[in-house]
Amino acid sequence: MESTSTGVLVWWLAISSVSVLNLCVFAWVATGRRWRGALEPPDVQRRRRWQLLLAGVFTVGCAFRSFLPRAEAQRICLVDHWISNATIARGVATLAELALVTQCALMLRDAARASGMRSAALLSWPLVPLIVLAEVFSWSSALTTNYLFSVFEEALWALTGTLLVLGLFRLWGAFQGGQALFVRGVTGLVIAYVTFMCTVDVPMYWRRWREAEARGDRYLSLAEGWHDANSRRVVTRTWADWHEEMPWMSLYFSVGVWLSIGLVRHPRFGAPARSQIVTQTTQTLHTGPL
């Protein structure tokens, strides 16, 4: 193994520490749901339980990946152990990512139904299928080492984020108070995410693919890639190997998890939204058409 970079070790310690904190916060939220849930209607309790379960999958998955950082296509890792195999890391990531996008879809659908915004509800339906397709491309990249598949994967994530933003924009004026603050906060966060994907992540993988093409690299078949991903681990702790992975991993394992846990605690959309609609309707009946 080449010389160890202090910067890489500090980064590893930082993301691991954040993940420990995230696990503690999730445990606190999960414990609090036991008594708060009894105060909510059964349908709301059911949606909250789903959000909690999905957030747990994402939080634990991100913690696992921060304790054992791995870049699947490059086969690089920080810990030389079979559990650092690329297929295990990719499997954990797949479950976690599908959990997160399902959370977002459920939140958007819940808010859209409460506000009566049918167009926003329709935009929630493609989110999960798009990420299922993105995961197919991600596995293809991890196994074949062809970064063009990563370009397609990240582009689909950017498209999914864009659809989510469009759905949230439809809800921009539908709520008041904490509900409105939540919708606008998530909208800003997802806009920042899409911007990052389009300006950093997609161009990075496109550049890697162009460089591989210029070198004449040979890509692996799926069968070759499966064997290689389960048997080859390049243990490296050098800055050159990890510095491009640090930005997206750092944001993924911190802000991404905070969003996931926040979706468990999002304001209840149902009753306030219906009250608001009734109030608006009553005002219209009293004042008459403009």
Q: What is the pLDDT of residue 54?
A: 97
| Separation of alpha carbons 281 and 286, rounded Å | 9
Q: Measured between alpha carbons, how far is residue 156 from residues 23, 94, 105, 129, 198 in Å?
A: 29, 14, 15, 10, 11
pLDDT tens series, the chain, 290 aa: 568 899 999 999 999 999 999 999 999 999 876 656 556 677 778 888 999 999 999 999 999 999 999 999 999 999 999 999 999 999 999 999 999 999 999 999 999 988 888 999 999 999 999 999 999 999 999 999 999 999 999 999 999 999 999 999 999 888 888 889 999 999 999 999 999 999 999 999 999 999 999 999 999 999 999 999 999 999 999 999 999 999 999 999 999 999 999 999 887 775 444 444 444 434 434 444 43
CB count in 10 Å sphere of residue 97: 22
Amino acid letter, residue 237: R
Radius of gyration of the chain (CA): 21
| Separation of alpha carbons 173 and 159, rounded Å | 23
Q: What is the pLDDT of residue 33?
A: 63
Query: What's the CATH class of domain 6-269?
Result: mainly alpha
**pTM attached to this predicted model:** 0.89
- 75 and 233 Cβ atoms separated by less than 8 Å: yes
Q: Measured between alpha carbons, how far is residue 101 from residues 24, 113, 266 in Å?
A: 22, 18, 15
- 136 and 191 Cβ atoms separated by less than 8 Å: no
Q: Kindly report the CA angle at 42 between 38 and 47, in degrees rounded to 5?
A: 100
Q: What is the pLDDT of residue 199?
A: 97
- The strand pair at 76-77 and 70-71 is best described as antiparallel
Going by C-beta distance under 8 Å and a sequence separation of 6 or more, which residues neighbour residue 16? 66, 67
What are the boundaries of each domain within the chain?
6-269
